[in-house]
Amino acid sequence: MSKQVEKRIEKLRDKIREHDYKYYVLFEPTISDLEYDKLVKELEKLEEENPDFVTPDSPTQRVGKDLTKHFKPVQHIIPMLSLANTYNADELYDFDRRVRDGLPKGEKVEYVVEFKIDGASVSLRYVDGYLKTGATRGDGIVGEEITNNVKTIRSIPLKLKKHYSIPYSLSDFEVRGEIFMKINDFFTLNKEREKRGEKLFANPRNFAAGSLKMQDPQIVASRKLNIFVYNIISLKENFDFHFENLKILQRLGFNVNNEYKLCKNLDEVLKYYEDLETKRSSLEFEVDGAVVKVNSLRQQKILGSIAKSPRWAVAFKFKAKQAITKLNKIIWQVGRIGTITPVAELEPVFLAGSTISRATLHNIDEIKRKDIREGDKVIIEKGGDVIPKVVSVVLNERSKNIKAPKPPDKCPVCGSIIFKPENEVAYYCENTECPAQVRGRLEHFSARGAMDIEGLGEALINLFVNINFLRTYADIYDLKNQREELINIERLGEKSVDNLLTAIEASKKQPFPKVLFALGIRYVGVGAAKKLADHFLSIDKLMQASEEEITAVHEIGPSISKSVKKFFSDKHNIDIINRLKKQGLVFESERMVVKGNFFTDKTFVITGTLENFSREEVGDKIVAYGGKVTSSVSSKTDYLLVGENAGSKLNKAKSLGVKTLSEKDFIKELDKLK
């Protein structure tokens, strides 16, 4: 009898999975909702009577009842990089030129073009055909586990379909995609919230991203989220082409947006981009452009990536949507490094999925160039469909008595005298204790991509700055000494304070690259912080490095090196770092370096295109074996590693008598270390 029950349970599961696929992926239901509900209820009843037969992949297990109080970190097997943007055909031709320059001479390049879905990026790991974990993008290197929440999305298979035409075993792999909400579902949701007097959500993308971080999966299940997947990654299988991978994903039962095409050349890319843009207004979901990817995965590997984005893919943005509204007032904001920026306060207007009431004006020169004045009717658009900006003024509707604005002569927050550096358009407040700067630095320091101090958000930071509890980010770690005073603050209470202090203490475990990013050094983003931390291994070595040594780090330019040296030359900053050291923050990277080999204590420069590695991979291997990689050839260079199409660096190496190393010889030296 139990065998018959088990067979019936498995048959019901297969039927429900198939109908889920037809409904949520193909949008072609073949049975009524009533018939579907009967299948689910029968399965639920059988599983309730036979709990030993319940498995994690059962359709009844999509919505868990347990709350997720902590989202564990998940390391992506390959970083989830963001894409560089292009906005016109000339920029796309530049991308194509860079791709061809980075490949062996004469190689043909094919591109795959697909919609750029405006959603929340996730990665899904499958082991032996079953969903193992789901994770957010995070900082691109480490995300947060959201398995319980992604399981509630019915277009995500818990168990993969078997497809015998797939030439891979795929026992362990990662799928990447965009979680989104349909536009009509989003508008319906906001109308219901408006009727109840609740705060409206800004746009479908933010709503989807926020839903994935909710603690209760039953609430997530009630929200009509969907997914389009766009990539498959495996460390065990060698895939050949991106276009084929999209087909494989579809055969496995994943929801892949059907609007993708293999293009033989850039003319075909541009033509298909135009086709996609004409379809944009009729779509059920938000898109903000097309993604252009090199089809060959071998070529992708050769091209590699820079700190933030791959060299083999680019986002080709659609023309921004525009609207006309009134500019009520120009206000001046102060950023965390003292930059004073004009912002337009607008009559609220709905544009590209959200209501806009503010827009950036960039700087005073931009205001003068566009002749923008308070009281004007202005045309606004979302730059890259994200940041609202004022494009131009409707001059024929301007009143005669409207005067041109002037920049402030004092800081609008602290009243200090402001200054404008030579060759810059921005004005700055130099008072490092200006409350606006303090708030900005504290928000940056405690943000998720930096120290990740949960609970220390904008409202609490404003409160603590106003009552003089926080002046620098080192003060955060002294809040534990003021616990009783914190508890007595209205609306905080003992539990909230203890949760905050626990989060502050937990942040001390953040790795050195994140701590370095959190310091808020100008131009040092997440990618640059990781490269500097990986190269110098400690804050002390970075502080002691010369500007030339910092610039020599792969993909670290002179703007970053100047900014780093300026930051560490300020005694106030050094004092704060010393306080943070005493509090136990991590200011060193632990990395095993294998010494006593060919690479130890030698300096290498890389030039040309390598067949088996990206330049980043080569650099990592050299550093791991005790060597050093710099960007320019000098008399101190020990070896120039030469790939195909080597340029001026090879000539300079010859003139200086620097030894050269072929990729073949490089591999031989690596093989000796195995």
**Can you say whether residue 102 is alpha, beta or left, with left for phi > 0 and alpha for psi between -120 and 50 degrees?**
alpha
Among candidate residues 570, 585, 565, 554, the one with its CA nearest the CA of residue 523: 565
- SS3 call for 306: coil
Q: Tell me the C-alpha distance between 40 and 319, whole Å.
A: 45
Beta pairing partners, 232: 175
- Show Cβ contacts of residue 518 under 8 Å, excluding neighbours closer than 6 positions: 444, 445, 446, 447, 450, 451, 473, 510
Q: Which ranges constitute the DSSP H helices of 232-314?
A: 242-251, 266-279, 297-303
Residue-wise burial string across 529-556, b where 16 or more C-beta atoms lie within 10 A, e elsewhere = bbbbbbbbbebeebbebeeebbbbbbbb
Tokens for 306, please give them.
């820079």
Query: What are 615's two structure tokens?
Result: 């330049």
Which one of the listed residues 3, 65, 116, 508 is annotated catalytic?
A: 116
Cβ(393)–Cβ(373) below 8 Å: yes
Write phi, then psi, for 473 (nearest 5 degrees): -75, -15
Cβ atoms 225, 239 nearer than 8 A: no
Separation CA 550–CA 547 (nearest Å): 5
Euclidean distance between CA atoms 660 and 670, whole angstroms: 16
Structure-block tokens of residue 7: 């067979």
User: For residue 126, what is the enclosing H or E element?
Assistant: strand 120-127
Q: Give CA–CA dist 557/552, Å, rounded.
A: 8
Distance CA(139)–CA(206), nearest Å, equals 17
Asked if 294 and 109 count as a contact pair (C-beta separation under 8 A), the reply is yes
In 3D space, the residue among 577, 625, 579, 631 whose CA is nearest the CA of residue 604 turns out to be: 631
Which residue shows structure tokens 């409202």? 459
Half-sphere exposure of 320 (CA within 13 A, CB side): 18
- Name residues whose C-beta falls within 8 Å of residue 202's C-beta, 6 or more positions apart in sequence: 354, 355
324: nearest Cα among 370, 402, 392 = 392
* Dihedral sign for Cα atoms in the order 576, 581, 584, 588: positive
> Is 162 part of the annotated catalytic residue set?
no
DSSP per-residue codes, 43-103: HHHHHHH-GGG--TTSGGGSS--S------EEE-SS--PPPPEE-SHHHHHHHHHHHHHTS
Could you tell me which residues come within 8 angstroms of residue 188 by beta carbon, excluding any fewer than 6 positions away?
none
Active site residues: 116
